[in-house]
Amino acid sequence: MVLQTSGNADWWRGAVVYQVYPRSFQDTNGDGLGDLKGITRKLPYIASLGVDAIWLSPFFKSPMADMGYDVSDYCDVDPIFGTIADFDEMMVAAKALGIKVIIDQVISHTADVHPWFVESRSSRTNPKADWYVWADPKPDGTAPNNWLSIFGGPGWEWDGVRRQYYQHNFLTSQPDLNFHNVVVQDALLKTAKFWLDRGVDGFRLDTVNYYFCDKLLRDNPPHEPDASDGGLDAPDTNPYGMQNHLYDKTQPENTVFLQRFRALLDRYERRATVGEVGDGARSLKTVAAYTTGGDKLHMCYTFDLLGPEFTASHIRGCVDAFQKVVTDGWVCWAFSNHDVERHASRFARTEAERPDVAKLAISVLSALRGSICLYQGEELGLPEAELSFEDLRDPYGIRFWPAFKGRDGCRTPMPWEAAKAHAGFTTADKSWLPVPYEQAALSVDVQESDQGSVLHHYRQALAFRKAHPALLDGAMTFLETDQDLLVFTRKKGAETLLFVFNLTREPAEFALPKGMVLGAPVAMPGASGVAAGGVVRLAALDAFCGMVS
């Protein structure tokens, strides 16, 4: 089955993308796991939010050691999610609702049961012998260098048949492909073409700066104590952050492969790519390299706004730095995804203020220049789930427990109906992860009946964004202030909007710059700030929007 995509070629610029984590979205066959039919069933709900596209986390055939980010067949659907026919059905339904579909491509590594790796590890002389990163041990039998795995321990695993080590940036069961081999690149591009021919509108490229490693396998230097080029990619409990990752990722050859990937997409109409860049303090420079020139990625996102800070200075610093460094590229901003603690818990100081923080966060995100990505459940203001060790499924959390609890707390099932078992996610006796009571209490059906809910605010905020062209791709200029306020204008054509966000817990005032005159008030959802006498007055966790004359 082949579907044609339609619409504006630059639809991705300023788009709102909704991330679906298939395992946790909706189960239709009663096995306790979400599936593709469940996504199809809930597409009208997604469309009701006012988003432009969905991003599906991996649904490919996989042993599921890393919840699908260990692929064993790039061109097939894992049976737990359904079939290719189910995928095609979902695509038809999405297109009918005007929703673009972006799928996750995890091509830096495969599962160790992938046929490519099975053949590669069988000998040093087979046709795929150099499809993965293999290296001889040091004379004393230790690993080739000091590279580490993000999931703990060395970044190398010994194979007794080849009597060599293979590289893995993540689990030992996730061997890294050798992108220095052009034949490997060709094979991966062929798998991308398979999905392009089925009508997907683009790809989210997982760990996009991890594709190449240093050919000479040089040791990484230590992370300098006064720098910030390592620890942003891993929790403080993980020694991965103790290295400056100069050689195990972000190699210059990567841009050439991205040009090849873009050339493939350009053979189709209206396709887009978004890359995940984890590169510490170098992330913005990497984004610039990967998105400039119009011949590589369409946009990237980093981890800059996925940390604990929800302050005016931090957000301004991230956005301002991006605009200065990435002059002709594009960014996709997000506060949450499947790898980090949910931002309702990260940003809120108390349980009581979570709804207000969740509403303010989407108001801020909707006003930023760039595309934005929402993670399923954040539109409900879901907090991070507190799980016991016995409930964990994430190998990352199991490895570093209890200092780091892993990613399962943000991956619990979507709560649809509060009164049903597992909040309506599944009819199974047991769900793959539990649905905590506090999340079930925030279910979709409860919030649908409350006009003041976080869910309704999300819909209003996204509708507001779409109603103002300046917010999609207009210019963004920060205004100076001596207070902890986030103040900027968005301008396109004759429309100039002034935004003032008070992210503090105290009332605040902002004096308009000399010569600035506001016209008619702009009714931004949830904003109660008022302007009078040249001063904008805001309550705690409040916002203001005005039209500049």
Residue showing tokens 């006009």: 451
Same domain, 402 and 513: no
Q: Within a domain: residue 155?
A: no
Same domain, 370 and 490: no
Same domain, 324 and 291: yes
Residue showing tokens 């990567």: 254
CB 510 within 8 Å of CB 481: yes
Candidate list 233, 276, 279, 379, residue with the active-site label: 276
Instruction: Show which of 439, 465, 491 is a domain's final residue.
Output: 465
Same domain, 334 and 302: yes
Q: Within a domain: residue 116?
A: no
- Bond before 402 cis per omega within 30 degrees: yes
pTM for the model stands at 0.96
Q: Which long-range contacts (CB under 8 A, 24 or more apart) does 133-141 make?
A: 133/166, 133/167, 133/175, 133/176, 133/177, 133/178, 133/213, 134/162, 134/164, 134/165, 134/166, 134/167, 134/178, 135/164, 135/165, 135/166, 135/167, 135/217, 136/164, 136/165, 137/164, 137/165
- Per-residue pLDDT, 229: 42
DSSP string for residues in 447-472: HHT-TTSHHHHHHHHHHHHHH-HHHH
Say whether 21 sits in a helix, a strand or coil: coil
Q: Say how many C-beta atoms besides its own lie within 10 A of residue 140's C-beta.
A: 5
- Per-residue pLDDT, 227: 47
Same domain, 512 and 424: no
Say whether 54 sits in a helix, a strand or coil: strand
Instruction: Show which of 415, 442, 465 is a domain's final residue.
Output: 465
DSSP string for residues in 81-121: T--HHHHHHHHHHHHHTT-EEEEEE--SB--TTSHHHHHHT
Alpha carbon distances (Å) from 76 to 40, 59, 73, 195, 324: 18, 8, 6, 10, 42
Q: Within a domain: residue 398?
A: yes
Candidate list 52, 176, 206, 408, residue with the active-site label: 206
Same domain, 480 and 458: no
Same domain, 300 and 445: yes
The dihedral region occupied by 280, where left means phi > 0, alpha psi between -120 and 50, and beta the remainder, is left
Which of the 8 DSSP states describes residue 50?
Answer: T
Q: Are strands 542-548 and 535-538 parallel, antiparallel or unpaired?
A: unpaired
Q: Within a domain: residue 121?
A: no
The two structure tokens encoding residue 454 = 């976080």
CB 307 within 8 Å of CB 46: no
Q: Within a domain: residue 9?
A: no
CB 292 within 8 Å of CB 343: no
Tell me, yes or no, if 10 is annotated catalytic. Answer: no
Same domain, 495 and 381: no
Report the CATH number that the domain containing residue 530 is assigned in CATH.
2.60.40.1180
d(CA 277, CA 70) in angstroms, rounded, equals 18
- Per-residue pLDDT, 284: 87
Alpha carbon distances (Å) from 123 to 25, 136, 166, 426: 42, 13, 13, 45
> 39: which residues sit within 8 A by CB, 6+ positions away?
20, 22, 25, 26, 54, 56, 90
Structural domains of the chain, count: 2
For residue 291, the cross-strand partners are: none
Report the CATH number that the domain containing residue 380 is assigned in CATH.
3.20.20.80
Q: Within a domain: residue 56?
A: yes
Tell me, yes or no, if 76 is annotated catalytic. Answer: no
Same domain, 21 and 63: yes
Q: Within a domain: residue 251?
A: yes
- Per-residue pLDDT, 231: 41
- Per-residue pLDDT, 228: 46
Same domain, 447 and 498: no
Helix extents (H) in 155-236: 182-196
What percentage of the chain's residues is helix, strand, coil (to nearest 5)?
A: 30, 20, 50
User: Residue 421 is part of which domain span?
Assistant: 16-108+182-465
Give me the sheet containing 542-548, strands edge to edge: 475-478, 485-492, 495-502, 542-548, 518-521
pLDDT tens per residue across span 83-131: 999 999 999 999 999 999 999 999 999 999 999 999 999 999 999 999 9
Instruction: Show which of 420, 436, 465 is a domain's final residue.
Output: 465
Q: Are strands 202-205 and 164-167 parallel, antiparallel or unpaired?
A: unpaired
d(CA 42, CA 455) in angstroms, rounded, equals 15
Q: Are strands 508-511 and 100-105 parallel, antiparallel or unpaired?
A: unpaired
CB 198 within 8 Å of CB 1: yes
Residue showing tokens 């902002």: 510
Give the residue among 197, 126, 480, 188 at the shortest CA–CA distance from 313: 480
Q: Within a domain: residue 135?
A: no
Same domain, 209 and 310: yes
Q: Is the dihedral of CA 394, 68, 48, 14 positive or negative?
A: positive
Same domain, 387 and 488: no
d(CA 42, CA 97) in angstroms, rounded, equals 12
- Which of the residues in the chain have pLDDT under 50? 227-232
- The radius of gyration computed from the CA coordinates of the chain, to the nearest angstrom, equals 23
